[in-house]
Amino acid sequence: MSKFLVFGHQNPDTDAIASSYGWAYLERTAFGRDAEAVALGTPNEETAFALNYFGVEAPRVVESAKAEGVSQVILTDHNEFQQSISDIRDVEVAAVIDHHRVANFETANPLYMRLEPVGSASSIVYRAAKENSVELPKEVAGLLLSGLISDTLLLKSPTTHESDPQVAKELAEIAGVNLEEYGLELLKAGTNLASKSAAELIDIDAKTFELNGNNVRVAQVNTVDINDVLNRQEEIEAAISEAIVSEGYSDFVLMITDILNSNSEILALGSNMDKVEAAFNFKLDSNHAFLAGAVSRKKQVVPQLTESFNA
């Protein structure tokens, strides 16, 4: 029986790690397949907190599927090939478990796809477990809960689906934690930015989107004080400019999100700033502008950029 590698996107966030870990568990227990959860990058501090809290070893970091001797992979929390493993076009995608838009995606063979407009890929994994009568261990439930909390900012993001609060309640019960207390601990663990270099900061949670022929990098950092990040603007802009040149991005958009007050500051550099300004109907002042009520890259930033770049 061939082995499957299960992984989330590059620069994995908590949902990417949690959903791949949970789906690999489901593959082994419900479907009887040999599946291993791996990662396309080192877990960030928020994810490390969740892994440590529930006593789970971080998944192995891999760079090539073929180098691992596998021919089939399963993608969670993403489907766009530029966000996936380096040799994604050289292996068969057997399944996709995701809650994002579908773009730049094509396969040679039929596959299992489960795409739902819910708050996290972890939410989908949990429902699949229930459908298959799989009782999740505490640590698996805890990681899935962490993925849901992370992606919805403790159910406050507009990406939160009406079914997510019940999913969170059930997962918290299985994991043996208080939802609100654990959720705040988890989110605050991801706001320790002072120890990170500017280059590390802009790469904590970043994805590249192909928008009308432009490679647009959209990154997000969470904080309890936006000014703490803006005080480092000069070095952050230098890191962004270097990334634009070295990686070939046309534009770089950084969301600095206040998790306590649910607002963001947008810091942007690149060759299409007119399109960035049009996307959010604001004017950049010293390369940044306030975006009230914005906490979700998926729902409040990427769709607006997509429409503006395609106009």
- pLDDT of res. 248: 96
- Which segments within the chain are labelled E, that is strand? 4-7, 35-39, 60-61, 72-76, 92-98, 112-115, 206-211, 214-223, 251-258, 263-270, 288-291
At residue 128, φ and ψ (nearest 5 deg) are -65, -40
CA of 133: how far to CAs of 10, 29, 126, 144, 198, in Å?
A: 31, 10, 11, 16, 46
Distance CA 66, CA 193 (A): 35
Domain architecture of the chain: domains with CATH: 4-191 (3.90.1640.10), 198-310 (3.10.310.20)
The predicted pLDDT at position 100 comes to: 94
Asked if 149 contacts 49 with a C-beta cutoff of 8 angstroms, the reply is no
Contact 119, 160 (CB under 8 A): yes
Q: Which residues contact 121 (CB under 8 A, 6 or more apart)?
A: 8, 15, 16, 18, 19, 76, 77, 97, 98, 99, 147, 151
Q: CA 149 to CA 186: how far, in whole Å?
A: 8
Q: Per the annotation, where are the binding residues? A: 9, 13, 15, 77, 99, 151
pLDDT tens across 169-206, in order?
Answer: 999 999 999 999 999 999 999 888 888 999 999 998 99
pTM of the model: 0.83
> pLDDT value at position 1?
57
Tens of each residue's pLDDT in the chain, 311 residues: 589 999 999 999 999 999 999 999 999 999 999 999 999 999 999 999 999 999 999 999 999 999 999 999 999 999 999 999 999 999 999 999 999 999 888 888 999 999 999 999 999 999 999 999 999 999 999 999 999 999 999 999 999 999 999 999 999 999 999 999 999 999 999 888 888 999 999 998 999 999 999 999 999 999 989 999 999 999 999 999 999 999 999 999 999 999 889 999 999 999 999 999 999 999 999 999 999 999 999 899 999 999 999 98
Q: What is the pLDDT of residues 123-172, one digit of tens each?
A: 999 999 999 999 999 999 999 999 999 999 999 999 999 999 999 999 99
Q: Which residue has the tokens 């810091």?
A: 267
Structure tokens at 50: 């969740």
Binding site for Mn(2+): residue ranges? 9, 13, 15, 77, 99, 151
